[in-house]
Structure 1
């Protein structure tokens, strides 16, 4: 079973390995009711209690699937976190209190709950974060009982530091992996000192760190790994951590000697993340029960050695960082 960690000082407890639910919305390709049920049941079976979704995943379909499943299979230990702020009504310049309230109420209805356990701002423009109104609105929604906690999903170190220093967020969702390590220097220690939970996304760098891709890899047209490789649709760092795909494949090959005996590349990547004490949960996507089970096993693997951590940090600085496109 997956080990559990506190989500900062929120009082919520989450599984170290979480489940990303973007794929349940059908945005990466068609998903049947049976597939969704299989994925969510597998998460329950291995103790994956942290589920991450958003109102724009399939225009609400992901939330609806989760809401229907959790009504039929109630489990108090689940922590379901959704995100708001990227719908066409709000993004990029339509942010008002009433529009955000409407988005949150729609998520409550789809997830079939009175109070959302956690809402995270979904990579909204930095200028909107800095203006600060959204955080006052979220404080009000807490007082009204619409949400229990709020946080922010951000794209850059600067945005993360702003949220930690200037707002009352309970959690931050960050891009962080072996191919994008900058959050470790300032953001993770500050989050830990302030009791802010850290949720990692793109821990396998859009699948690169599973170690199975080749330069000939093909992705479906609906898959962001096809249409956003160069940042055409949203922040380039959200796809392959901002690295050019073919170069990233070469870098993965150069990482293979660092994989300890008895582990594979994906296990190395996930274990590296879990070795950071500030990390509450690592979101992993899954299209099958088998993937969920494999990812969950990492929770019980031994920590990497200090020498391995040092080698991986040096590899990033020498071989990777200069090639990342977009703001880190």
Structure 2
């Protein structure tokens, strides 16, 4: 495993880490603590030292599983969680320092920790990024020893640009993959100039970039890939990166031709992200141990050639860009 600096946090984190949205259950499945334990331990056994969770993942059970793991391991494992998505309705007015403080304290209790390595605002409404009092809260929480670092998870590039104007924002978590290339145009350079770490999420476009899906694929009714394609529950960009399912599969077939060979497209999709030096870590999810290992092994693939990078961009511009670029 190779490690990269996570911006001004100063932490050296595994370039392939683990996102825990579907750990222990998969989208639509019930939470399975034993499965979660196996997945999490497989990650640490293979050099992962950064875990990303959230208080809303499986109603707090994901956080609890991460906390249990930390007590069972001797390695230095850095944990990032998120707060704010419990606000209902999820609107700007619901974001108050008191509410966010309560969420942070609940996460500490849930994971049985005294201090959080990284707390992130969890894709709040755009207006929240213009409210200084929200960001000031995290300075107070740091002074109190409850957090070490503060970051944000964003839907839009513009929100990331707003966030990094605050000096205490150490990381930005953003959707970045072969189907969502906009962050690399200017935002990555802006973040690097301010020494802000980039956490790339949804790297496989909800599994579409695995190369294994077909038009006949059926999803559980509780899986966001079934119910959220038009953004009925949350931002549709979180589901298949906002890409039309049929069009995305057509683009995937061309990507598979670019990367024909023994290794699956999923690994090349992760390796493509690591070609961008500004990215600190990529956080693919996993619903079984074998996926964890496959994801980690993607980092061992050779660098993509200039021709391959150009070809990926051409596929994006041909099929995807017109539908997603201006939205996020």
Q: What interval of TM-score do these two structures reach, taking the shorter chain for normalisation?
A: over 0.9
Residue 166 of structure 1 deviates from its aligned partner by 4.5
Residue 168 of structure 1 deviates from its aligned partner by 2.9
Secondary structure in structure 2 of the residue aligned to 1:9 = helix
Q: Which residue number in structure 1 is paired with residue 292 of structure 2? A: 292
**Residue range with higher mean Cα deviation, 261-270 or 45-54:** 261-270
CA 1:37 to 1:222, structure 2 compared with 1: closer, same or farther past 3 Å?
Answer: same
Count of equivalent residues: 326
Q: Which residue number in structure 1 is paired with residue 129 of structure 2? A: 129
CA distance in 1 between counterparts of 2:222 and 2:48 reads 27
Deviation string for 1:201-225 (max 9, x for gaps)?
1100000000000011111112111
Checking the alignment, whether the CA contact within 8 Å between 1:230 and 1:244 is kept in structure 2 is no
Secondary structure in structure 2 of the residue aligned to 1:287 = coil
CA distance in 2 between counterparts of 1:327 and 1:136 reads 29
For structure 2, the residue ranges without an aligned partner over 5 or more in a row are none
For structure 1, the residue ranges without an aligned partner over 5 or more in a row are none
Q: Which residue number in structure 1 is paired with residue 15 of structure 2? A: 16
Secondary structure in structure 2 of the residue aligned to 1:87 = coil
TM-score of the two chains, using structure 2 as the length reference: 0.95
Residue 242 of structure 1 deviates from its aligned partner by 0.6
CA distance in 2 between counterparts of 1:166 and 1:117 reads 18
TM-score of the two chains, using structure 1 as the length reference: 0.95
What's the RMSD between the two structures over aligned residues? Answer: 1.6
CA 1:167 to 1:222, structure 2 compared with 1: closer, same or farther past 3 Å?
Answer: farther
Q: Which residue number in structure 2 is paired with residue 218 of structure 1? A: 218
4+ runs deviating over 4 angstroms: none
Alignment of 1:185-200 (within 5 A): 185-200=185-200
Q: Which residue number in structure 2 is paired with residue 308 of structure 1? A: 308
CA distance in 2 between counterparts of 1:184 and 1:151 reads 19
Alignment of 1:1-328 (within 5 A): 2-24=1-23, 26=25, 28-76=28-76, 78-88=77-87, 91-92=90-91, 93-259=93-259, 261-324=261-324, 327-328=327-328
CA distance in 2 between counterparts of 1:140 and 1:25 reads 34
